[in-house]
Amino acid sequence: MFIIYRGNETGSSQEAEHSGYSECDLHLGCCCLPLVFLAVLSRHLAPSQQIPTENMALIHAAFLFVSVCAFSLAAASLGSLILRVLQLEMNADGEHLLICTGVGVISIEMLLFGVEVTQQIRNGCLVVVGLLCVFLLAEFKRIAPRCSRSLKAAFSGSRLDFLLLLIIGIVLGLEFLASLAPLTGSDALHYHFTTPKLILTYGFHPDLSILHSFLCGQHHLLILFGLALGSEKVAMGLIFLGGVMTAFSLACLASRWSSPRTTRAITLLLLLTPVVFWQISSAGAPDIWMAFFASAAVMVLCQRKNSGTWRQALLAGLLTGGVAGAKYTGCLIAAGLVAAIAIEYRSARSTSLLFAGSLLTGIWPYLRNFVWTGDPVFPFLSKTLIPERANLFALKALLADTGASQPGHLSQFIPFVFFAGMRQSSLGFWDFFGPIVFALAPLLISSFADFRKWRVPAVVWCVSALGIFYSSGLPRFLLPVFPLALACTAAGIDFSQQNGWKLTDRFVVGLVILLWMVGGAGLVMYMWKPAAAALGFIGEVHYLEERRPEYQEAEAINRVLASQTKGGKTLLFLRHMYSVDVPYLNGDPATSWIINPDRLHTPHDWEVFFQKEGIAFVARSPDYPEKIEAPLTEMEAKGELVPVARSVVQDFQGMRIEGEHTEISVIILRVKSSIETKNQDDH
């Protein structure tokens, strides 16, 4: 990872080779080469059943930090090679390293997609690690001088600048420790981590019982990579890396229009924003990588070198694919980038090249969905493209979950675009960006005369926000453009300072300090338990029982069925399936495409379904979903579902953030036809 702020202007790569680093860099590259292998060996240092002692946990955290650093260096080396082939170089060292890392990461993800298709995932990931070692050895002597100059630039400045940098480091350290705690994020337990785990266990194929698995994009391949190397923590570390890259890309962008002090202040504010530190540390979702790739693409479009050339457009397109391929709403942000290059350069060729580059790197999840279902954005076009297989109940539930069923009213657009929109029905970290952009919006309007300087990020921000508002309206989907808005806000702050607006300057300083304090308090309150668990001060089982939703239900199912399934599957009605270790199908009609209430009316329909899918057990905790309750309850009454075990466990009551627990019964039933089959096999 790199500390990147206002970088120095650089010469050609040939100058770097003759700047006194050659022999030193070769030795340093050879020393760094084994670091990439640490990720592979992590499974041997991370016991699966218990948190190690405090000392071992600290060593383990340091080990994982080095692994993440090694990955970032290897990605930067691969990206450096690609940029040399394209004969491209950024204006400053820090920007060049960030762009190299972005290009390297998206290239690694394309390699991992190829590995996934071959079905040799674990061995293929080892091959990818070997390739990264080769790239690191070949290119390290070229990126080492840039790293050194970026570090010197970062640590230059006044004592206050150094203090801000130190605080940024402390905040990142706490967020890194929190990211190493056992996984507890709700969506992560439902599909972000569950889907890669199932792919590793059963192979790369469609799983219609988990509808959200089709929403997995490019950056979920990093989770698959970490899990394939044997460690959930490596996967979380790679998500954390996306947050670090996002913070540094904001710093590089903001430094174009604001002073180093304002740049560092606004970067610290980003890291203390609840939705950001939640995404970086414990959410277990790779969405934060979208923010980095959006910022990196904007950074390329703002370059003075190669401005308006086909190389610039193609490189911006390759990075845009990292946004479009991550999530369906990423296509709207990609549209914002297309609009920005069209407005900035008014060139059909540049616009077409950016579009082509984004297709090259971002089309793969859509191609996968099309091959599997006939709908590239499955299931949103299923009513039109595959009406005979459409599940209208599950589709309606997903539309409600993503906000697509409730388009926003025009009066709500202004608060939404300035990150001040909130869903009162479910307040949480996932929506809260803070008031900074909204409160300082007048400064942006006042500095409109200098709009051309920061037109590209402003266009991407506003076009993306407009598309997301009318397609979904969920504030959390604005995360990828939040750094762009903060960079524009930094430009407005410095504009007021340059014009001597003392009253405004005092208000800005007071507001930023207040938000630091509030964000810092929230960070400590939210992160201290995960950090303590990561360091071994809280036992893993105790932490999971207290913090992971439906963990005790899953463990009860594992205990009863671990030795009884013998090829049969269990129908579950849990949302958080990551902890379940026995073969299963998701039976919740709101999140499973194959559980269609319109086609499963009677006990006979369910009997046919059980035989077709190989269902041997049904586990409910405590009730069936209301939409399918009647036929299953009737099957129990007729003795077609026979109770075999019952456990009483604890789980969350109401919102998880409230921390209230209640007792829940877990009842496991055997399908009668499976009993008869078992008896026949015994005879």
pLDDT (tens digit per residue) in 448-458: 666 667 789 99
In this prediction, residue 427 has a pLDDT band, given cuts at 50, 70 and 90, of low
**Under 8 Å CB-to-CB from 556, ≥6 apart: which residues?**
647, 649, 666
What is the structure's pLDDT at 516? 94
pLDDT, tens digit, for every residue of 601-624?
999 999 999 999 999 999 999 899
**Count of residues making up the chain:** 683
Distance in angstroms (rounded) separating the CA atoms of residues 382 and 390: 6
CA distances from residue 502 to 497, 499, 506, 508, 509 in whole angstroms, order as listed: 7, 9, 6, 10, 10
Identify whether residues 454 and 570 lie together within a single domain. Answer: no
The answer to whether 628 and 600 are in contact (CB under 8 A) is yes
- 589 and 513, same structural domain? no
Say if residue 498 is in the same domain as residue 585: no
Strands 569-572, 584-586: pairing kind = parallel
Q: 506 and 556 share a domain?
A: no
Q: What pLDDT does 158 receive?
A: 86
Kindly tell me if the per-residue pLDDT of 467 is higher than 70.
yes
Token pair 């269609």 is at which residue? Answer: 596
Are residue 440 and residue 559 in the same domain, yes or no?
no
Amino acid residing at 267? T
The reply to whether 447 and 558 lie within a common domain is: no
DSSP assignment of 391-446: -HHHHHHHHHHTTTTSPPPGGGHHHHHTT----GGG-STTT---SHHHHTHHHHHH
Q: Is residue 646 domain-shared with residue 498, that is, in the same domain?
A: no
Is pLDDT above 70 for 51? no
**Of residues 312, 264, 246, 69, the one with CA closest to residue 158:** 264
Burial class from Cβ neighbours inside 10 Å (0-12, 13-18, 19+) for residue 46 reads buried
Contact in structure between 319 and 99 (CB atoms under 8 Å): yes
Q: Which of 19-28, 406-415, 545-554 has the lowest mean pLDDT?
A: 19-28
**C-alpha dist (Å) from residue 199 to 80, 214, 237, 446:** 31, 13, 20, 52
Beta bridge partners of 666: 647
User: Is 259 found in the same domain as 182?
Assistant: yes
Question: Rounded mean pLDDT of 208-230?
Answer: 95
313 and 226 co-located in one domain: yes
Contact 454, 299 (CB under 8 A): no
pLDDT at 17 > cutoff 60: no
Interval 90-94 mean pLDDT: 91
To the nearest whole number, what is the mean pLDDT of the chain?
86
Overall number of domains in the chain: 2
Together in a domain, 498 and 624: no
pLDDT at 15: 36
Residue 98 lies in a domain: no
Strands 615-620 and 641-652: unpaired
In this structure, is residue 544 part of a structural domain?
A: no
DSSP code at position 326? T
Say how far residue 11 (Cα) sits from the centre of its chain.
35
Q: Is residue 400 part of a domain?
A: yes
pLDDT recorded at residue 683 = 46
Query: What is residue 439's predicted lDDT score, i.e. its pLDDT?
Result: 87
Q: Whole domain around residue 656: which residue ranges?
A: 549-682
pLDDT of 447 reads 67
Q: In angstroms, what CA-CA distances link 511 with 160, 355, 499, 518?
A: 18, 40, 19, 10
Q: How confident is the model at residue 598 (pLDDT cuts 50, 70, 90)?
A: very high
**Looking at the domain assignment, is residue 70 inside a domain?**
no
Residue 203 confidence (pLDDT) above 70: yes
515 and 565 fall within a common domain: no
The answer to whether the CB of 258 falls within 8 A of the CB of 491 is: yes
- Partner residues linked to 662 by β-bridges: 651
Residue finishing a domain among 495, 526, 557: 526
In which band, very low, low, confident or very high, does the pLDDT at 60 lie, cut at 50, 70 and 90?
confident
pLDDT of residue 32: 45
- 513 and 559 inside one domain: no
Q: Per-residue confidence at 13, pLDDT binned at 50, 70, 90?
A: very low
Q: How confident is the model at residue 35 (pLDDT cuts 50, 70, 90)?
A: very low
- Separation CA 331–CA 189 (nearest Å): 25
Determine the distance from the C-alpha atom of residue 12 to the mean position of all C-alpha atoms in its chain, rounded to a whole number.
35
pLDDT computed for residue 499 by the predictor: 76
> What pLDDT sits at residue 34?
41
Q: From the CB of residue 86, how many other CB atoms can be counted at a distance below 10 Å?
A: 16
SS3 648: strand
Q: Is 149 inside a domain boundary?
A: no
DSSP for 533-584 reads HHTTSS-HHHHHHHHSTTHHHHHHHHHHHTTT-TT-EEEE--S--TT--S-E
| Inside any domain, residue 42 | no
> Model-level pTM?
0.91
CA distance 405 to 424: 17
Burial class (CB in 10 A: 0-12, 13-18, 19+), 278: buried
Residue 359's pLDDT is: 96
For 481-522, the pLDDT digits (tens) are 999 999 999 988 888 877 777 777 888 999 999 999 999 999
pLDDT of 422: 66
The tokens describing 464, both together, are 């993306």
Residue 292 scores a pLDDT above 70: yes
User: What type of residue is 285?
Assistant: A
Average pLDDT over residues 26-46: 43
Residue 4: predicted pLDDT: 39
- pLDDT for 423 equals 60
Which residue would you say has higher pLDDT here, 474 or 178?
178
pLDDT tens digits for 659-669? 778 899 999 99
Q: What is the mean pLDDT of residues 541-553?
A: 93
3-state DSSP assignment of residue 101: helix
Mean local confidence (pLDDT), 76-90: 94
- Res. 207: pLDDT tops 80: yes
Peptide bond into 379 cis (omega under 30): yes
> Is 225 among the domain residues?
yes
Cβ 148 vs Cβ 3: under 8 Å: no
531 in a structural domain: no
Tell me which amino acid residue 64 is: L
- Per-residue model confidence as pLDDT tens digits over 336-377: 999 999 998 889 999 999 999 999 999 999 999 999 999 999
